[in-house]
Structure 1
Amino acid sequence: MARLNWGMIGGGEGSQIGPAHRLGAGLDGAFSFVAGALDHRPEAGREYGQRLGLAANRAYGDWREMLDGEKGREDRVDLVTVATPNATHFEITKAFLENGFHVLCEKPMTMTVEEGEEIVRISRETGNICAVNYGYTGYSLVRHMKAMVARGDLGKIRLVKAEFAHGHHADAADADNPRVRWRYDPAQAGVSAQFADCGIHALHMASFVTGQEVKRLSADTVSCISSRELEDDAMVNFRMDGGAVGRLWTSSVAIGRQHGLTLQIFGEKGGLRWSQEQPNQLYWMPLNGRLEIIERGEGGLSPEADRTSRVTIGHAEGMPLAFANIYTDLAEAIQARKSGRTMDPAADLYPRAEDGLRSMAAVFAVADSGKREGVWVDARPPMFR
């Protein structure tokens, strides 16, 4: 099967997320990296793009130049990844969708619920894919959790407990560090800091695995470092549309925690526990049974897990490979559209614009509830109520 053409906006030299996307997109040979506008400084972006192997005429100075350059080409990019600062996601994603491109946007997809609803409408009206990079859902055993829930291994889901807590912003002396400061500045980050940055990953994963969406929530938010305007810790209780109860803790001041993304699912017939820092093991406790450790790569797993596991059992698969699974999902979706066939259902798991919209609605709901001392609020975007 011929490779698809891929381009990237943002993710330039020194970027935290750019290398993970380039590794993920190229890992399985589904995409060729052919175009990019990689830096807010045009010449730096052009120079870095050429060092990465882009042709001089496709190493663009900015995203508008890239849009103009690509939309008229017969070999134009099939997928554009948007990995720019948060406030620019909406404008860039909207422009490329409206010009016939498929888009993978970093989270948060937009800065407001209204922008999110517009992206959903554009994606639906044009038929162009808008995916959102909730990349941790690409882990093989997270997909196996989803499959176990879907086939009824746990019975009716009663309770979900999600965490994304780290301690890397716990030093009050970092108040003037520009890499930290912007995250807690409403002018740059919006209405939420820690929940919008990390909490929505945990919340999306809870929905992804259970197949249920969040309806209502109550939030306790706090700035443990008093100089911060936005929260650095939040505890969120939520109710899901399939009846599950949810608890979510997210923090950036939990000293001793590193990454801290964990998910536990408890049903009538058993419970599951997974941690991103030990992604090769899934703990399964059947009701009245004995604790089992499911290993990534072992025999007898679900098609969703098998499809997303590359190396033999006992060898770690990390975050770039989880990102790669999002890219292989998208490659399968795009190739299926090109050939007019139905895509592999085991690959039909990439996060959609609808997921990005729900996350943004949850961000505003958490901010609202937190300001009103935990009052329960509707967490759904208006178009889904």
Structure 2
Amino acid sequence: MAKLKWGMIGGGEGSQIGPAHRLGAGLDGAFEFAAAALDHRPDEGRAYGQRLGLAADRAYGSWQEMLAGERSREDRIDLVTVATPNATHFEITKAFLEAGFHVLCEKPMTMTVEEGEDIVRIAQATGKICAVNYGYSGYSLVRHMKAMVARGDLGKIRMVKAEFAHGHHADAEDADNPRVRWRYDPAQAGVSAQFADCGIHALHMASFVIGQEAERLSADTVSCIASRELEDDAMVNLRFDGGAVGRLWTSSIAIGRQHGLTLQVFGEKGGLRWAQEQPNQLYWMPLGERLQVIERGEAGLSPEADRTTRVTIGHAEGMPLAFANIYSDLAEAIRADKEGRAMDPAADLYPRAVDGLRSMAAVFAVAESGKADGAWVDARPPMFR
């Protein structure tokens, strides 16, 4: 079977996210890295692309040059990943969708709710995939949690508790560090800092696992380091459209926390607990029974978990492999579209443009509620109200 052709915008030399995408896209052999515009500096981007093995005529100097070059080729890319600074996501994603390309966009998909609604409508009108890289939803046991909830193992879901709290921005002496400062500057980051950066990952994972969307929320936001204009800590209460209650804490000043993404789900018949830093274990407590530890790769798991497990039980699988599961989903979706068939339902789990839109609506709702001393506000995008 011929490989699909994949391209990347952003993620150049020294990028934090670029290598994870290149590892994830290439891991299963479904995609060939065929084209890229890796740097805002044209010469550096072209040179780095060629060092990574790209042909000289497909190592582009800008995304505009890449769009013009790829749209005219018979062997054009099947999928492009957008991993540029946040404020550029909308323009690039829109341009490639309208030119007939499938897109995987890093989060946040857009900077405003209105832009998010535009992307959803464009994806619907073109029939092209617009995925958003909520990559943590690719973990095998996160998908097994979703399967357990969907088949009723927990009964009716009562509450979900999500956290994404770290302490890597806790030093007030870093106030002028440009790698930190921009995150708390409204001119560069928008209306939210920590919730928009990390909180939306926790919210997406909660919605993904329980199969419910945030309907209303109340937020307490604070800048614990006084020089910051935007929040570095937020506590958000949520009400989901299926009746579940949500509690979400996100922080960048939690000294002692490293990554800090965790999820707990409590239903009528049992509870689940998972942490990204120990992704191979899922803790399951059925009502009235003993605590059980579910291991990634063990026998008897769901098709969704089995499909996303590559190495044998007891060996670690980490974030690049979770990204690889998103790319595996997308490869299956693109091949199914090319072949005119239904895709494997166990692979139909990649985050969509609507997820990116709902996240941006939640960002603005958290900012609004935080300024109003925690008033309850509508968390839904206008087009879904």
TM-score by length of 2: 1.00
- The equivalent residue for 2:184 is 184
Partner of 2:86: 86
Unaligned runs of 5+ in 2: none
Write the distance in 1 (CA, Å) between the matches of 2:179 and 2:47: 24
SS in 1 for 2:75: coil
Distance in 2 (alpha carbons) for counterparts of 1:211 and 1:348: 14
Quote the Cα distance in structure 2 between the aligned partners of 1:121 and 1:282.
37
Within 1, Cα distance between the matches of 2:317 and 2:252? 25
- Aligned-residue offset at 1:353: 0.1
TM-score relative to the length of structure 1? 1.00
> Paired residue for 2:264?
264
CA-to-aligned-CA distance 1:156-175 (integer Å, 9 cap, x gap): 00000000000000000001
C-alpha offsets along residues 182-218 of structure 1, whole Å, 9 cap, x if unaligned?
Answer: 0000000000000000000000000000000000000
CA distance in 2 between counterparts of 1:5 and 1:179 reads: 33
Letter of the aligned partner of 1:230 in structure 2? L
Aligned to 2:74: 74
Aligned partners of 1:102, 1:148: CA distance in 2, in Å? 31
Distance 2:290 2:159 in 1: 20
Letter in 1 for 2:249: W
For residues 202 and 135 of structure 2, what CA distance do their matches in structure 1 show?
Answer: 11
Letter in 1 for 2:380: R
RMSD value, Cα: 0.2
Q: Quick one: which amino acid aligns to residue 90 of structure 2? A: F
Equivalent position of 1:124 in the other structure: 124
Task: Tell me whether 1:154 sits opposite 2:151 in the alignment.
Answer: no
Aligned to 1:158, what secondary structure does the other structure show?
Answer: strand
Cα deviation, 1:111-166, whole Å, max 9, x if unaligned, reads 00000000000000000000000000000000000000000000000000000000
CA distance in 2, matches of 1:183, 1:13: 21
- Per the alignment, residue 316 of structure 1 pairs with 316
Whether 1:4 and 2:9 are equivalent positions in the alignment is no
**1:226 counterpart residue number:** 226
Aligned letter for 1:143? R
Measure, in 1, the Cα distance between the counterparts of 2:132 and 2:34. 21
Q: Whole-Å Cα distance in 1 between the matches of residues 3 and 184 of structure 2?
A: 41
Which blocks of at least 5 consecutive residues in structure 1 are unaligned?
none
Paired letter, 2:179: R
- Counterpart residue number, 2:235: 235
Distance of 1:310 and 1:33 partners within structure 2: 21
Structure 2 match to 1:15: 15
Runs of 4+ in structure 1 deviating by more than 6 angstroms, as ranges, are none
- Map 1:336-347 to 2 at 5 A: 336-347=336-347
Q: Does 1:285 align with 2:285?
A: yes
Q: Secondary structure at the match of 1:246?
A: strand
SS in 1 for 2:198: helix
CA distance in 2: counterparts of 1:296 and 1:3, whole angstroms:
28
Displacement, 1:348? 0.1
Q: Paired residues, what number?
A: 385
* Cα separation, 2, equivalents of 1:74 and 1:301: 42
Q: Secondary structure at the match of 1:209?
A: helix
Measured after TM superposition, the shift of residue 2 of structure 1 is 1.4
